[in-house]
Amino acid sequence: MDVLKRYIVITFGCTLYAAGFALFLEPAHLAAGGISGIAVIVTHFLESVDSGTVIFLLNLPLLIAGSIVFGGHFFFGTVWATAVSSAMISFAEHFVYPPAADDRYFCAVMGALFTGIGMGMIFRCHATTGGTDIVVRLIQRKIPDMKTGYIFLFVDSSVVLAAGVVFRDISTTFYSGLSLAANTLVLNLLLYGVSKQSGGNIINP
């Protein structure tokens, strides 16, 4: 994939990812794993800070670690994806009205669909949105036959449980978990297809 096409695809993936988070997950207070899920929790206590800024700041140490392990090709694509998605999330939070924040089931499903497709597009360009994506890549280097979506499910479940504790609402845990599971399904389908049962190491450079 040539450089221009790669960054166009990454940018479009970032747009979908940001829309899924800012328009569906965050308005419904759904922390469906990852740094974005942690941002939902953080902004619950620090309302003056937008999630896009929190996501970018939390990503900085992970980006440095990822650049050391995976090299420049990974680093530049991931920095671009992280910066673009964070900026788009901040923009959407300030200027776009969420369509259905009160319908948590709808938000969980649509958020998972948008973020899952967006993440899949970014991964196929050998980049990530930062955060736990980098942790997942590190795990997959050690366990290359393990599907990407399942590693995310394992890593991000702790964020879902933390959200339930912070918001003191079992429905938050349920709908966050539903969105995480749906995201896992969408991501695996996009990366590995319908019939392939054992995923390869598609996101590693």
- B/e letters for 23-38, b = 16+ CB within 10 Å, e = fewer, are bbbbbbbbbbbbbbbb
Q: Report pLDDT for 166.
A: 78
Closest CA to 117 of 177, 174, 182: 182
> 198: pLDDT confidence band, cut at 50, 70 and 90?
very low
Q: What does the block give as tokens for 11?
A: 């940018």
Closest CA to 38 of 114, 110, 135: 135
Q: Report pLDDT for 201.
A: 43
Report the sign of the C-alpha dihedral through residues 190, 196, 198, 200, in that order: negative
Closest CA to 155 of 126, 118, 187: 187
Mean pLDDT (whole number) for 36-51: 79
The pTM for the full model equals 0.77
Tell me the per-residue pLDDT of 44-92, one tens digit each, with 9 for 90 and over: 777 777 887 888 888 887 777 777 777 767 778 888 888 898 889 888 8
44 Cβ contact partners less than 8 Å away, ≥ 6 residues apart: 29, 166, 167
Tell me the per-residue pLDDT of 101-131, one tens digit each, with 9 for 90 and over: 778 899 999 999 999 999 999 988 888 877 7
